[in-house]
Amino acid sequence: MTEDEWTAVRLSLLVATTATAASLPLGVAVAWLLARGRFWGKSLLDTLVHLPLIMPPVVTGYLLLLTFGRRTPVGAFLADELGIVFSFRWTGAALACAVMGFPLLVRAVRLSIEAVDSRLESAAGTLGANPPWVFATITLPLSLPGVIAGAILCFAKAMGEFGATITFVSNIPGETQTLPSLIYTLTQVPGGDAGALRLTLISIAISMLALLGSELLARRIGARQVTT
Amino acid sequence: MSLEIDIDHAREHFQLTARFSSAPGLTALFGRSGSGKSTLIDIIGGLIRPTRGRVAIDGQVLVDTERGIFVPKHRRRIGYVFQDSRLFPHLSVRHNLLYGRWFVRESAGPSSDLASVVELLGIGSLLDRRPDSLSGGERQRVAIGRALFAHPRLLLMDEPLASLDEARRVEILPYVERLRDEAGVPIVYVSHSVAEVARLATTVVILTDGKVTAVGPVLDILPMADAGDAGGVLDATVARHDEAFQLTVLASAAGELQVPRLAAPVGSPVRTYIRARDVMISLRPPEEISALNVLPGRITAIVPSSNGAQADVRLDCNGTALMARLTAKSVQRLALAPGRPVFAVIKSVSFERS
């Protein structure tokens, strides 16, 4: 493997991990709102969350560019006030991956929260637990297999994300050139086939490892808690 | 403890109106299914917000729709034992029991200690088990313990025995009695079983089609209940055991009763429920009859059934209200009328220790 290929693999792992970690808390919160909340605009929120899933990735990437680009109001504010720059940085790739993986995460978590018996939650309430405590001690532990599944889906999506990433932050080696971007680049140059094939195999291996890990984790948790 | 209820709750095709206040001890909400008793207990527990009205415990207002007060369930300190126990499947029995303790404020006073509650409910051997490995009866006892640990000022029990078979019910009932007598927590108990109510209740609230039709001490109210299994409640104490015939002799104001052998020790109080259909009436003391129990009394009222074929004859046996269900023909043949002295005849085998 060449140095470029290693760099791309490392970068992809960093981007996918960051994207998953960043979208997990927000994703669980939104999933809970959609599963248990009753408020005005719920279906609007639902649609908004699902947009990245149904829009062409290039469109999502372009919208990110329009929103978080260095010269846009939001981009300028984040850069000047908070020192966070997304455009043409690996952080931007992570943001694109997080947005793309978000609907998958929310769907999985929402389904598993909906499957938690709400009568258990009201029982916890009668024992003195306020809603945040009920969530932390009853809802979240009981929906943990779904949360893990959602996180793995999000991670896998982030590892493979291409369209939105390349549109938003381009394809800069060492900064935003993730594994799929490099595979794409290699297929465009003469003699790049061997490298593309190597990276393809690595990509498959990482995906399978992630899936296997989540299965094992979910099984261990499932064995600990059998719902009655 | 005093619980004051004055609420109206409207749901589709159903209207619940309840106004009563309850005394210490165990208050039974009694009625058929669909009479609104579960809705009422959910309103007390804060699981349902009534359309209009007021709920207060010891003067503290929990719900007052006019003043816009609604104390959420986690701040009411009202324990709730559900019909389906609702133990947390991901926690061990021990952690289920201790769950409510996290939220008990110090100012609430000393909470019951683990050992005594575990002993009271006989669940010591279950502490490290998971809820899914428990039997129905064990689950309900753990659920009762869990509610007690949250240091409630009132305990709600919504048909806690309904999902259990007869053997498991017999297993749990003594624990509920001990709870009422020893734990000192007032209880509101929902049931549609006359037998359970007769045995456990201090006060009875009868609900019929969403309305409170009677409130009062169990001995006065239960004989009036419009239940399929009408009858009378008799308070007695165990006088002695007849080991040779496997019988127990009970002493009551109405006279001595012989019933199938009870496990209770001599001197302990026992409340029995005598179904109207198990009582015969005789004008003279019967001789050479198999039934072992003959109680002298006086007829207080005769209530014919709606189709006139049967009648419930209400009796006063030295202060105890009993009831006999007879055919209209028997009533006429014996010329029964209020005020007439008669003898109530009850077969020993018909007793179920209700």
Model pLDDT, residue A155: 93
- Under the banding of pLDDT at 50, 70 and 90, the label for residue A162 is very high
Q: What percent of chain A has a predicted confidence (pLDDT) above 90?
A: 71
Model pLDDT, residue B142: 93
Model pLDDT, residue A4: 86
Query: What CA–CA distance (Å, rounded) separates A72 from B301?
Result: 91
From B72, B77, B80, residue closest to A123, measured CB to CB:
B80
Domain of residue A76, residue span: 3-224
Would the pLDDT of A181 be above 80?
A: yes
Smallest CA–CA separation between A125 and chain B, in Å? 5
Domain of residue B294, residue span: 231-350
- DSSP letter for B159, please: S
* A125/B73 CB distance under 8 A: yes
Would the pLDDT of B279 be above 80?
A: yes
Q: Which of B180, B199, B224 is where one domain is finished?
A: B224
User: Given CB atoms, is B88 within the 8 Å cutoff of chain A?
Assistant: yes
Strand B3-11 relative to strand B14-22, pairing? antiparallel
Choose, out of A118, A126, A140, the residue to mutate when testing the contact with B (most B CBs < 10 Å): A126
Q: What percent of chain B has a predicted confidence (pLDDT) above 90?
A: 31
Strand B310-317 relative to strand B320-327, pairing? antiparallel
> Is the CB of residue B27 less than 8 Å from the CB of residue B205?
yes
Instruction: ipTM value, please give it.
Output: 0.81
Closest C-alpha among A7, A1, A3 to residue A177: A7
CB atoms within 10 A of CB A192: 16
Same domain flag for B201 and B242: no
Q: Which residue has the higher pLDDT, B264 or A173?
A: A173
Model pLDDT, residue A227: 43
Closest C-alpha among B152, B154, B155, B149 to residue B114: B149
Same domain flag for B66 and B152: yes
Q: Which of B197, B224, B251 is where one domain is finished?
A: B224
Query: What CA–CA distance (Å, rounded) separates B205 from A120?
Result: 28
CATH code of the domain containing A201: 1.10.3720.10
Model pLDDT, residue A69: 87
Query: What CA–CA distance (Å, rounded) separates B61 from B63?
Result: 6
Provide CB contacts within 8 A for B239, sequence distance 6+.
Answer: B249, B250, B251, B256, B266
Where does residue B122 fall: left (phi above 0), alpha (psi -120 to 50 degrees), or beta otherwise? left
Smallest CA–CA separation between A140 and chain B, in Å? 11
> Is the CB of residue B300 less than 8 Å from the CB of residue B312?
no
Angle at B234 between CA B243 and CA B32, to 5 degrees: 120
Distance linking the first and last C-alpha atoms of chain A: 51
Query: How many structural domains are present in chain B?
Result: 2
Model pLDDT, residue B117: 80
- pLDDT tens by residue, B327-342: 988 888 988 989 999 9
Same domain flag for B7 and B146: yes
Q: Which of B224, B258, B285 is where one domain is finished?
A: B224
> Is the CB of residue A98 less than 8 Å from the CB of residue A19?
yes
Query: How many structural domains are present in chain A?
Result: 1
CATH code of the domain containing B276: 2.40.50.100
> Is the CB of residue B210 less than 8 Å from the CB of residue B16?
yes
Model pLDDT, residue B354: 43
pTM (2 decimals)? 0.78
Same domain flag for B238 and B346: yes
From A124, A127, A227, residue closest to B89, measured CB to CB:
A227
- pLDDT tens by residue, A75-131: 888 988 888 889 889 999 999 999 999 999 999 999 999 999 999 999 999 999 999
Q: Which residue on chain A is closest to B47 by alpha carbon?
A: A122
From B72, B88, B103, residue closest to A138, measured CB to CB:
B88
Q: What share of chain A is helix, strand, coil (3-state, %, to 5)?
A: 80, 0, 20
| HEC-encoded secondary structure of B101-136 | HHHCCHHHCCCCCHHHHHHHHCCHHHCCCCHHHCCH
Closest C-alpha among B131, B129, B67 to residue A228: B131
Distance linking the first and last C-alpha atoms of chain B: 27
* B100/A141 CB distance under 8 A: no
> Is the CB of residue A187 less than 8 Å from the CB of residue A196?
yes
Model pLDDT, residue A178: 93
* B45/A137 CB distance under 8 A: no
Q: Which residue has the higher pLDDT, B304 or A98?
A: A98
CATH code of the domain containing B86: 3.40.50.300
Same domain flag for B177 and B235: no
Closest C-alpha among B183, B125, B126, B118 to residue B157: B183
Same domain flag for B205 and B247: no
Same domain flag for B156 and B78: yes
> Is the CB of residue B78 less than 8 Å from the CB of residue B156?
yes
Same domain flag for B169 and B22: yes
Same domain flag for B202 and B273: no
Phi/psi at A154 (nearest 5 deg)?
-65, -45
- pLDDT tens by residue, B213-251: 888 888 777 766 655 567 788 888 889 988 888 888 999
Model pLDDT, residue B229: 67
Interface of A with B (CB under 8 A): 117, 119-120, 122-131, 133-134, 137-138, 141-142, 224-228
Work out the average pLDDT over B41-58. Answer: 92
From A127, A141, A226, residue closest to B150, measured CB to CB:
A127
Smallest CA–CA separation between A122 and chain B, in Å? 7
Smallest CA–CA separation between B29 and chain A, in Å? 20
* B102/A123 CB distance under 8 A: no
- Under the banding of pLDDT at 50, 70 and 90, the label for residue A66 is very high
* A142/B90 CB distance under 8 A: yes
